[in-house]
Structure 1
Amino acid sequence: MNDRLLPAVSFQGVTRRYGAVTAVNDVSLDIAQGEFFALLGSSGSGKTTLLMLLAGFDKPTEGRVLMSGTSVTEVPPHRRQIGVVFQNYALFPHLTAAENVAYPLKMRGIGRAEREERVKAALSLVNLTERGASYPSQLSGGQQQRVALARALVFGPSLLLMDEPLGALDRRLRDQMQLELKRIQGELGITVIYVTHDQSEAMAMANRIGIMAHGQLLQVADPETIYALPSDHFVARFLGECSILKVTSIDGGRGYEIAGARQALPSVTSKPFDIVVRPENVSVHSAAAQATGNVFEVPATIRDITYLGAGWRVTLTLPDGQSLLATIVRGDEIAGYLGPGKPVFARWAPTSVAVLPAEGSS
């Protein structure tokens, strides 16, 4: 079979235990050739351990790791043809940027003339052609990150692993580097596996996201799907803000009720369920504003208001005591009416909710 048709990476039933602690628990995952894949999770979720198993810096207790269909579980790191970039760039302070980038080529016995050509191309790729003679201490954090990226790419790896590479940068530089990483990945067509705890990074760059918690892979999907249709309560809460509301099932699971307001569901749900509503899908209206079209409407009271610059984040209290988040943008008809304690109506489209098994149900 053509290697391009095989997954770039396959984790097959991979588990890693450290004594009584299970850091990675029975993970199976295929990552396609040329994919930008993000592993997203909080500290201790197992995402970095999974990356280290792939890089060869650790070995699984159980299961196999494959690259292009071939097991690399017993292959040492230097033979896996993988580039790695960490949050700590680990540049040699006594070497120039160009010398740092050339180091992997020198270790591989590449001749001087070819080394110089490859280093020149790698520095050009990361827009650092003019800084090759600079030492790390003379470079900004963003420039050091680019040198580390060029060093990871200069020997032509088939796979690039990145572990929180932008964590040490400020927000502006991080946003810039996100665009640069996507550009470089697109130009090279290289497979990238990117570990982060930052939801916005994963959403902005990845073709698919895998969310991890307690060593388990909870859900894998493209950013739009995983945001709109989370698999469980943890994923819903972890990926962006949301309100998870307890509802009463009606009509044999064909709809739900909150505080006397009823709404049909697109499909029948036979087991107890909760609904997930994202704040940007909730509109807030005064009592005088009439509902139009097929929308769900429930009375509420404004509890808190947070100014966001482009608008406001409003916390509402529903008649049954549950909290509901809503986003109000500038120019919205309710903007001039906002105030704690004021009665309003919250509305959302029936298709904008996600349905999850009720928390605590089997």
Structure 2
Amino acid sequence: MPPFDIVGPEAISEGTATDAYFTRTETTLRHAGRNPRVVAEVTADQFPDGDFELLAGVKDAAALLSGRGVDVDAMCEGQLFDGGPVLRIEGPYLEFARFETSLLGFLSHASGMATAALAARRAAPESTVLSFGARHVHPSIAAVVERSALLAGLDGFSHVAAGEVLGREAGGTMPHALLICFGRGKQETAWRAFDEAVGPEVPRVALCDTYGDEVGEVLRAVETLGDDLDSVRIDTTGSRRGDLRHIIREIRWELDARGHEDVDVFASGGLGPDALRSLRDVADGFGVGGYVSDADPVDFALDIVEVEGEPAAKRGKLSGTKQAYRTPDGGHHVGLADREGPAAAEPLLEALIRDGEVVREFDLDAATERALADASATGFGGD
């Protein structure tokens, strides 16, 4: 028995990371000698309702479906969507039937976290916002959390192994545990030891709320580290911190009064978009954790909409191959793919796989730029 309850990449690639009824569907269709050519679409909502979400997970979806005898069209990562298909598969059904479970998992989970991260980004567009939420999820998907956060425009993340997967360096300085290990009243010793131990490339960010009043600990940190101090972080548990905005304003005042205008104030601990909006004019940066990593997955479903060239769909779903469009005013529209779209509209589903070969490159920075531009165009998360 393996040491951890993890479904590995081999099971995902081979298609055993699936629901049992798909393997029985395969058995039944093969027994009947039936393998129709179908069009299947992944959708969250059939029609636009004004509630945009951010698409992520397309890179993993492409890796999953590559090498199969299918053509796939999809929106680009970092595209906001509001109804209609985000991904479309065309080919013999048995080429992809057993991969539906993993495909939806890739898209649903990453898109939910990316949507939440974009809401946080838009709530404090001029602030540094970091992803601190990997501790809330199974460690096997930490890189998915951090990639979703980066895709949405967050400035960095904390998980070391995720950074190795993504080719980005994780950030972070000290937890309360470090201060506690040195003992009550020994905060200066802990801050000084940190300063002496870590490399010069690591910013000197002192955690200043472990035992005492936040303002008092901040002033002690300034006295200890002097000009080497880059920032102070406040992470007081919600049950003890009171009015966080007032605390940060007081910290800022006392720092400025002593000539430390260059020391930034960073806040973390249970923060979401509403908190960021209320604090963005007094704090310089934020750590956002559970709001991103605990986000509900987008409720995607995969449905067959065409069989052997004929429209087909179950009750409650729209038959026929469809296209989604973005109009210059930021509107989202859905129509049949063989009909003319809205005037001056951009079709959003583009080639992803042709004859089993991935025909698209994945650039995380480009996806981030797309997400931020699309958020502005659609008004997502605006004040």
Same fold, TM-score > 0.5, yes or no = no
Instruction: Indicate the structure whose relative CO is greater, using CA pairs within 8 Å and at least 6 residues apart.
Output: 2
When normalised by structure 1's length, the TM-score is 0.29
More helix by share: 2
